[in-house]
Amino acid sequence: MPLSMFWSKSFLLSRLFLWLMFICNLLGTIYGYIWYGNQIEDTINSHPLWQVVFVPDSPTASLFFTITLLYWLFPPQSTSRFVNGARMIIEGLAVVTSIKYGIWAVSMIVAGNMQGDPLQWEHWMLMASHGAMAIEVLLYARFMKAGVWAAVLGTLWLLLNDTVDYTYDVFPWLSDSLMDDLTAVKWFTYSLTIFSFIVGGLALRARKQT
């Protein structure tokens, strides 16, 4: 069996594999929101309520991709502009946010470890799951309906998220060893947004129509 089969359209879009991907991403999304539970509670108690939307970054990215998987499992019967537009926006969000936060989480764990934070089993699990977020959207981008304009909208959301995070201090909690590098983390985060747009936009531009 050739290895190329595992990233072929027939394999990736088979209903069995789509269901497996959906279940894994749904469980990961739920776990992600639970992981952010303390920060969400703290934000609700000490910040304006509207800011809580910008707290759970990775699980929201995973949620966008989980919804995207539903489009393949249950293709919309309507061909209206609203339905198609909503799908493309969600797909665009899924691509750029998953690339960004997948790479960001791995980078922060590695950076913390380089400054003395010991790696626990949770860190290895988080690096594997977040790395998978970036890889899976790149594998599936070629089958999406979204175009580059959807990636632009997704990037605007990321830039807004970055600005709220570092203006109002609702960025994902960092290890103590990284707090003295907060300015560097901030600009790395903004740079990663642009990188995610470039990579995600190229992946969507090269997509194959389903």
pLDDT digits (tens, 9 = 90+) for 182-203: 999 999 999 999 999 999 999 9
Is position 31 within any domain?
Answer: yes
Spatial CA neighbour of 24 closest among 121, 105, 106, 135 = 135
Contact, 145 vs 91, CB < 8 A? yes
For 140-160, what is the mean pLDDT?
Answer: 95
Is position 44 within any domain?
Answer: yes
Check residue 47 and report its DSSP letter: S
Contact, 91 vs 102, CB < 8 A? no
* Confidence label for 76 from pLDDT (cuts 50, 70 and 90): confident
* Confidence label for 209 from pLDDT (cuts 50, 70 and 90): very low
Is position 7 within any domain?
Answer: yes
166 pLDDT more than 80: yes
Distance CA 100, CA 139 (A): 15
Distance CA 97, CA 76 (A): 23
Neighbours of 48 (CB within 10 A): 10
Supply the pLDDT for residue 88. Answer: 95
Q: Which of 27-31, 56-60, 116-120, 152-156 has the lowest mean pLDDT?
A: 116-120
**Looking at the 3D structure of the chain, how many domains does it have?**
1
Is position 126 within any domain?
Answer: yes
Is position 24 within any domain?
Answer: yes
Is position 210 within any domain?
Answer: no
Q: Is 102 exposed, middle or buried (0-12, 13-18, 19+ CB in 10 A)?
A: buried
Instruction: Specify the 3-state DSSP secondary structure of 146.
Output: coil
Is position 61 within any domain?
Answer: yes
Supply the pLDDT for residue 2. Answer: 60
Contact, 70 vs 94, CB < 8 A? no
Q: Locate 61 and state its tokens.
A: 């990215």
Is position 158 within any domain?
Answer: yes
Supply the pLDDT for residue 7. Answer: 67
210 pLDDT more than 50: no
pLDDT digits (tens, 9 = 90+) for 123-135: 999 999 999 999 9
For 133-143, what is the mean pLDDT?
Answer: 95
The domain containing residue 123 runs over which residues?
A: 3-205
pTM: 0.94
DSSP assignment of 92-129: HHHHHHHHHHHHHHHHHHHHHHHTTPPPPHHHHHHHHH
Supply the pLDDT for residue 91. Answer: 97
